[in-house]
A and B are shown apart, each in its own frame.
Chain A
Amino acid sequence: MEDLKELFEAIVDGNAGKSKALTAKALTEGVDPQEILNKYMIPAMDEVGRRFETNEYFVPELLIAARAMKGSLELIKPRLVASGAKPIGKVAIGTVKGDLHDIGKNLVAAMLEGGGFEIIDLGVDVTPDKFVKAVKEKGASIIALSALLTTTMPSMKTTIEGLKEAGVRNQVKVIIGGAPVTQKYADEIGADGYSDNASSAVALARKLSVGDN
Chain B
Amino acid sequence: MKALLIELLSAGAVLTDGSWGVHMQSLGLQPGESPDVWNLTHPDLVAKVAGAYVEAGSRVILTNTFGASRIMLARHGYGDQATAINRAGARISKEAAGDRARVFASIGPSGAMLMMGDVTEQDLSNAFIEQAQALAEGGADGIVIETMSDLEETKLAVAAARATGLPVVASMTFDSGKNKDRTMMGVTPEQAAVELTEAGADVIGANCGQGIESYVTICSRLHAATTLPIWIKPNAGLPEMVDGQAVYHTTPEAFASYAPTLSASGASFIGGCCGSNPEFIRRLKDALRVAGNQDS
Q: A102-B111, A110-B116, A157-B244 are in contact. Are A149 and B177 (CB under 8 A)?
A: no
A103 within 8 A of B: yes
Residues on B with C-beta less than 8 A from A188 are 241
A151 with B246: CB separation less than 8 A: yes
A157-B241 Cα distance, complex, nearest whole Å: 12
Binary A-proximity of B97-120 (CB < 8 A = 1, otherwise 0): 000000000000001110110100
Binary B-proximity of A33-62 (CB < 8 A = 1, otherwise 0): 000000000000000000001110111110
Q: A63-B115, A106-B116, A151-B246 are in contact. Are A100 and B76 (CB under 8 A)?
A: yes
Number of interface residues of A (CB under 8 A): 36
A76-B82 Cα distance, complex, nearest whole Å: 45
Residues on A with C-beta less than 8 A from B244 are 153-154, 157
A184 within 8 A of B: yes
Residues on A with C-beta less than 8 A from B21 are 151
B32 within 8 A of A: yes
Q: Within B234-259, which residues are at the interface with A (CB < 8 Å)?
A: 238-241, 244-246
Interface residues of A (CB under 8 A from B): 53-55, 57-61, 63, 97-103, 106-107, 110, 124-125, 149-155, 157, 179-180, 182, 184-185, 188, 197
- List 23 A-B residue pairs with CB atoms under 8 Å apart, sorted by A's residue number: A55-B177, A58-B176, A58-B186, A59-B185, A60-B185, A60-B186, A98-B32, A99-B32, A102-B111, A103-B111, A103-B113, A106-B113, A106-B116, A124-B75, A125-B32, A149-B31, A150-B241, A151-B31, A153-B244, A154-B241, A154-B244, A184-B240, A188-B241
Interface residues of B (CB under 8 A from A): 21, 25, 31-32, 75-76, 111-113, 115-116, 118, 175-179, 182, 184-186, 238-241, 244-246
